[in-house]
Structure 1
Amino acid sequence: MMAEFLMKGWNVAIPEVDIGDDIFVVKDEEGTLRKVQVKTSRGKATKKGYTAQFSASEFNLANIGPVVGHYVFIVRLDDDTWSKPVIIRQDVLNQMYEDGEVGSLAGKTIVFSFKYTQNGDKVICLKKDLSAFINDYVDFPQLVH
Structure 2
Amino acid sequence: MPSTQYTGKAGHLAIMGELCLRGYNVSMPEIDKGDDVFVVNDTSGAMWRLQVKTSVGRAQATSHAYQFRVRETSIQNAQTPELHFAFVMRQGHSWRYLVMDRPVLRNYVRNSNMGTLDAARGYRQLSVVLHNDGRAVCTTINLQNHLEDWNTWPQL
Give me the TM-score of the superposition, normalised by structure 1: 0.91
CA distance in 1, matches of 2:21, 2:95: 18
Q: Residues of 1 paired with 2:62 and 2:149: CA distance? A: 24
CA distance in structure 2 between the aligned counterparts of 1:122 and 1:87, rounded to whole angstroms: 14
Q: 2:90–2:96: 8 Å Cα contact kept in structure 1?
A: no
- Is the contact between residue 136 and residue 143 of structure 2 (CA under 8 Å) also seen in structure 1? yes
1:90 is the counterpart of 2:85: no
Name the aligned partner's letter for residue 94 of structure 2. Answer: W
* Unpaired stretches in structure 2, ≥5 consecutive residues: 1-14
Do structure 1's residue 137 and structure 2's residue 155 form an aligned pair? no
For residues 76 and 86 of structure 1, the distance between their equivalents in structure 2, rounded to whole angstroms, comes to 11
8 Å CA contact retained: 1:33, 1:68? no
Cα distance in 1, alignment partners of residues 78 and 139 from structure 2: 23
Q: Partners in 2 of 1:97 and 1:60 — Cα distance?
A: 12
Is 1:126 the counterpart of 2:146? The answer is no
Corresponding position of 1:36: 50
1:2 aligns with 2:16: yes
> AA paired with 1:135?
E
- Runs (4+) of structure 1 exceeding 2 A deviation are none
**How far apart, CA to CA, are the structure 2 residues paired with 1:138 and 1:101?**
25
Q: Which amino acid aligns with 1:124?
A: V
Q: How many Å apart are 1:101 and its aligned residue?
A: 3.9
Please give the per-residue CA displacement for 1:13-64, whole angstroms capped at 9, x wherever unaligned: 1111111010000011221011111111111111111111100001122222
Residue 85 of structure 2 corresponds to residue 71 of structure 1: yes
Asked if 2 retains the 8 angstrom alpha-carbon contact of 1:41 and 1:54, the reply is: yes
Gaps of 5+ in 1: none
> After alignment, is 87-96 or 66-75 more displaced?
66-75
Secondary structure of 1:3's aligned partner: helix
Contact 1:101 1:127 in 2 (8 A): no
Compare the two structures and name the one with the higher helix fraction: 2
Structure-1 residue corresponding to 2:63: 49
Task: Tell which deviates more after alignment, 68-77 or 102-111.
Answer: 68-77
* CA drift at 1:74: 1.6
Could you tell me the percent identity over the aligned residues? 29
Deviation at 1:133, TM superposition (A): 0.3
State how far apart, in whole Å, the 2-side matches of 1:63 and 1:19 are. Answer: 14
Number of equivalent positions: 140
